[in-house]
Amino acid sequence: MGLSFRVDHAGGVAAPAAKPVFASEPVYADKQLIVSHASPSGIRFAGEIDASNSHAVRSSIAAAIQNGLDLHVDVTQLLFCDISGIRALVSVAEALPVGRRLLLHGMPPQLETAIRVVGWNRVPSLVVCECGWLK
């Protein structure tokens, strides 16, 4: 069954002319998760998110948010995300200023399903994005 998220193909977000550039040094790393900032206005999560590191999801996204810009979140390299990790993404999206969005790229099907089942796909500031930011 298809995901009922709002899929944003551009939606007022100017896709960068060039691919994002990810920082060589992670902003967070443990045995399960590596978080890297990207320019322009992005962040990547690679590995596994669970209760032991979901705090890093919140703090890394909060640190990456720039005034007035939506934040692109690359989850293409995310292997696992439990409910605490999903809740971290949702809580950060809910706390964004009006008009700002968390733009999710490369959502694993299991993550999409979990978000849809609990109804978090209706959070206006949490968007599955296909704007071409990663291309």
> CB of 47 within 8 A of CB of 33?
yes
Mean pLDDT rounded to a whole number for the chain: 86
Give CA–CA dist 45/36, Å, rounded.
Answer: 7
Residue pLDDT, tens place only, 88-120: 999 999 999 999 999 999 999 989 999 999 999
Instruction: pLDDT band for 22, please (50, 70, 90 cuts).
Output: confident
- Do 1 and 11 contact (CB within 8 A), yes or no? no
Structure confidence at residue 36 as a pLDDT band (50, 70, 90): very high
- pTM as predicted: 0.84
Q: What is the CATH number of domain 7-129?
A: 3.30.750.24
pLDDT higher at 112 or 24: 112
Per-residue model confidence as pLDDT tens digits over 68-84 = 889 999 999 999 999 99
